[in-house]
Amino acid sequence: MTLPRRPSGGRAPLRRPLVVAWLVLAIMLGAAATATAAAGVVSAAPPPGGQVGSVSGLRMEFTTPVESRFAVLELWAHGRLLSMPARVEAGNTQVVVAAVPRIVILPGGGWVRFRVLTGDGHVVTGRYPVEVGSGGTPTPPPPRLGSSSGAWLAGVGRGLVLAGLIVALGLVALRWGVAGPAWREGGVVGPGKPDDRAEFRLRAATSLIRGGGAWWAAWWWALASGIAGIVLYGIGLVVWIGSGAAMVALLTDTRTGNALIVLALSVILAASVGWAMRHAGNPDAPDPPLAWGIGLAVGAIVGICTMSWQGHASDGTDASVNIPADAVHTLATAAWIGGLVGLLVLVVSPSRMLGVGDRVRLLAGAVVRFSTLAIVCVALLVITGTYRALAELGSLAQLTDTAYGIVLAVKLAIFAVMLAAGGYARIVLHPRLERAAVGLDADDRGAGDALRTSLRVELTLAAVLMSAVAILVALTPPG
């Protein structure tokens, strides 16, 4: 069977409002990162605002391990630095100490200034006053370490990387796991009808080939988001740390830098496979060889697993369980949310060019397969999400009295609304499409337009959900 090329009408338009909303919501992450730049401190000696007779050393404990290469802890008094260089305490990578020489510190106000890069890629920075002795004159605060604009850039970068990888992988899963097989099997047909799958595939191929152009546009948008995110994340960390000369040390001497390198390589791999596929044969074919799908998916999978290895899941004593659980959670999110994007741009919107009978036949075949995929993904999300929430929260009270818990509660609420919207599509719209496809009820043929509207609603909710997820990545867990 000879397949038609993409119709002369051009590629189906990408849903730009959704893309713009996705990018705008990602920018919100910067505010979360900036607002929580001083979060993650467990204890400090001397304590903030405390009065001490003398200072022989500084000690700060953080909620997560810190990178020794970028640990700064200083005592300032009378306009000058009085402490020795900071170091990570032997045997406890969450504690930073700095010695203070045995010199006479005149009575008056002093300042402690700190900045660390945590193992999960956050910069924790701040300064606070202490009172040494009694009386004396106050001392001016030292300059702040780093720049809050770096926190903003790093937060946006992490959000764009996560969103880009999720959408890119979900698009691949939808094309090779749902749309292609549904087209190949001839959609949904009623029993006893003649076998006209070959003729149907030829007619439906025109729609899927047209949708292939929009699919590629969405996939390259997602990959571009990942590339931009990696660059912004790296630049943001350097600006946040406050040293332009720190990039090489960041990339080579820290887990975050190693993760950035792997992320860059994974995106390059995906882009290389995508470029090769675009220049080989008919890249918009409705059912491309599986090898291309595997090649496109590998880069995104490696990138997602790398973010789990470098993120919050890597902290604590159960990292060997937390990291795989977090990776499975994100992969399931990709197949579900990225799959929704693919279903809209590759199948639902282009199918309007088909006749009513062929349209409901193709849509029914696709949504039946996607429903099965979505149910599996939701089950994995509930299991792994519950485990990860218990690992990150010390108590249920932290759902309402910590920033991390509040955002997590918002995420869960949005997830529940998405489940309700998905349940409506699964229980109401999908059976209508199947009845129309097998010829039981001609009045149900309008379910295709209803499905299109439902997908738009779900994707809008997904954009808000993704912003909440990425804000969680920018925040420090309280547990």
% of the chain exceeding 90 in pLDDT: 24
| 128 φ/ψ angles, rounded to the nearest 5 degrees | -150, 155
Assigned domain for 88 exists: yes
Same domain, 278 and 130: no
Checking if the pLDDT of 23 tops 70, the result is no
**Token output for 208:** 């899927």
Whether the per-residue pLDDT at 327 is higher than 90: the answer is yes
The residue whose two tokens read 């509660």 is: 409
**Same domain? 102 vs 233:** no
pLDDT at position 27: 52
Mean pLDDT within 145-170? 85
State residue 376's pLDDT score.
Answer: 92
- Residue 372: give the domain boundaries: 16-35+149-474
Tell me: the pLDDT tens digits for 335-348?
998 999 998 899 88
Q: Are residues 68 and 175 in the same domain?
A: no
Same domain (yes/no): 364, 216: yes
Residue 6 lies in a domain: no
End position of a domain, from candidates 145, 177, 211: 145
Domain assignment of residue 2, yes or no = no
Q: Is the pLDDT of residue 144 over 50?
A: yes
Confidence tier at 6 by pLDDT (50, 70, 90): low
Statement to judge: residues 321 and 396 lie in one domain: yes
Query: In angstroms, what CA-CA distances link 440 with 239, 336, 434, 445, 450?
Result: 63, 30, 9, 10, 18
- Mean of pLDDT values over 57-71: 89
In a domain, 292, yes or no: yes
How high is the pLDDT of residue 316?
Answer: 62
97 in the same domain as 164: no
Worst-scoring range by mean pLDDT, 122-126, 127-131, 348-352, 423-427? 423-427
Report the mean per-residue pLDDT for the chain.
81
Q: What is the pLDDT of residues 416-471, one digit of tens each?
A: 888 888 887 777 777 777 776 666 655 555 666 777 788 888 888 887 787 777 77
> How far is the C-alpha of 26 from the C-alpha of 49, rounded, in Å?
36
Q: What is the band of 223 on the pLDDT scale with cuts at 50, 70, 90?
A: very high
294 falls in which pLDDT band (50, 70, 90)? very high
What's the pLDDT score for residue 35? 45
Among 99, 129, 145, residue at a domain's last position: 145
pLDDT at 252: 86
Q: Give me the mean pLDDT over the 165-173 stretch.
A: 95
What's the confidence (pLDDT) of residue 14?
A: 46
Burial of 401 (0-12, 13-18, 19+ CB in 10 A): exposed
Residue 303 in any domain: the answer is yes
* Mean pLDDT confidence for 354-362: 82
DSSP string, 127-140: EEEEEESSS-B--P
User: Does the pTM of the predicted model rise above 0.75?
Assistant: yes
Q: CA-to-CA distance for 213 and 399, rounded, in angstroms?
A: 43
pLDDT higher for 152 or 216? 216
Q: What is the CATH number of the domain that holds 60?
A: 2.60.40.1220
Q: For residue 114, how far is the Cα from the chain centroid?
A: 29
Instruction: Note whether 92 and 160 are same-domain residues.
Output: no
Give, for 220, the enclosing helix (H) or strand (E).
Answer: helix 197-241
Q: Is residue 11 part of a domain?
A: no
Distance CA(270)–CA(223), nearest Å, equals: 8
d(CA 435, CA 263): 45
Domain end among 145, 161, 193: 145
Q: How confident is the model at residue 105 (pLDDT cuts 50, 70, 90)?
A: low
> Residue 10: inside a domain, yes or no?
no
Same domain? 123 vs 176: no
Tell me what pLDDT residue 196 has: 75
162 plus 115 within the same structural domain: no
Asked if 195 and 299 sit in the same domain, the reply is yes
* Better-predicted residue by pLDDT, 331 or 183: 331
Q: Which two tokens stand for residue 336?
A: 């579900």
Q: Counting beta carbons within 10 angstroms of the beta carbon of residue 49, is it exposed (0 to 12), middle (13 to 18) or buried (19 or more)?
A: exposed
Same domain membership, residue 358 and residue 388: yes
Q: Which of 16-30, 262-276, 403-417 has the lowest mean pLDDT?
A: 16-30
Band of residue 21 on the pLDDT scale cut at 50, 70, 90:
low
Report if residue 256 sits inside a domain: yes
Q: Report how far apart, in Å, the C-alpha atoms of 292 and of each of 153, 262, 370 are.
A: 34, 21, 20
Residue 347 has what DSSP assignment?
A: I
Q: What are phi and psi of 220, to 5 degrees?
A: -70, -35
Q: Is the model's pLDDT at 100 over the cut of 80? A: yes
Give the separation between CA 324 and CA 440, rounded to whole angstroms. Answer: 46
The pLDDT score that the predictor gives to residue 306 is 95
The length of the chain, given as a count of residues: 479
pLDDT of residue 245: 56
C-alpha 365/C-alpha 178 separation (Å) is: 8
Based on the fold, state whether residues 97 and 222 are members of the same structural domain: no
Of 337, 304, 330, nearest to 462 (Cα)?
337
Domains in the chain, number:
2
- Element containing residue 211 per DSSP (H, E): helix 197-241
Count of other CB atoms within 10 angstroms of residue 269: 17
What gap in Å lies between CA 292 and CA 151, rounded to an integer?
Answer: 38
